[in-house]
Amino acid sequence: MELFLGGCYQGKKEYVLKLHPECKGQVIEGENLPADWDGMIKELQEFENPVINHLHLWIRKCLEQQTDVELLADKLLETYPGLIFICDEIGNGIVPMDALERDYRERTGRLQIRIAEKAERVERIVCGINLLLIRHGKTPSNREHRYLGVTEEALSGEGRKQLEILAEKDILKKPWLLFISPMLRCQESAGILFPGKKAYPIEEWREMNFGAYEGKNYEDLKNDSYYQKWIDSGT
């Protein structure tokens, strides 16, 4: 699974087809993809290597037809783990007053996150040039599902192994420029993936501070009423 993001008219589809020439003639426009499961399956079965372009327009179509977009998306990701998605970034700018427009932005952002979590490749395209986003390797706190923000923590043995496997894949061509968070786990990840490549730390990319929840997991906090309110709020 792969996800390509960027602003409108930034050359995303052209970039993807250059990267995956086998997908030429396999592009399904989001506005034409049915908003029901049977219709989606029928459409996707027509293609060997389907690419869903304008994913955000399919999401809008689902909302307008009052279809459960999250349920459909979950089934889609499970059934077609090799899909390629192209989606506009629509979360910037002034928050719309219209409720549907706000919901459309939020649902699109949340679905992008879900796809990114499962994707082997996530790239942002600006003026036809790709920006490859890579999460740091796993740490001991990640394994224990703890809130790890400003706390410095080295990679775990499992995290190092994950990155060593990733480093062997073709998707990691030597980058022109390498920017990283100054956090130790990010510095270590960059060293494993791109040995010898100078990395430029960006202070603004430091992790957020989880405050009283830093270093704790659900088991530690499940009896905290304020924590439960935060979880239930979905924010």
**Structural domains of the chain, ranges and CATH numbers in brackets:** 2-131 (3.40.50.300), 136-233 (3.40.50.1240)
Q: State the pLDDT at residue 187.
A: 96
Cα 138 to Cα 187, 209, 216: the distances in Å are 13, 18, 16
Q: State the pLDDT at residue 230.
A: 85
CB 2 within 8 A of CB 112: no
Does the structure show a pLDDT above 80 at 139?
yes
Average pLDDT over residues 187-204: 94
Does the structure show a pLDDT above 70 at 235?
no
Largest CA distance in the chain: 54
Does the structure show a pLDDT above 80 at 92?
no
Does the structure show a pLDDT above 70 at 156?
yes
Helix axes 184-193, 157-167, angle to 10 degrees: 40
pLDDT tens figures, 161-193: 999 998 887 666 777 889 999 999 999 999 999
Does the structure show a pLDDT above 80 at 218?
yes
Of the CA atoms within 13 Å of residue 159, those in its CB half-sphere come to 20
pLDDT tens figures, 24-43: 999 999 999 999 999 999 99
Cα 158 to Cα 39, 63, 118, 219: the distances in Å are 41, 40, 18, 23
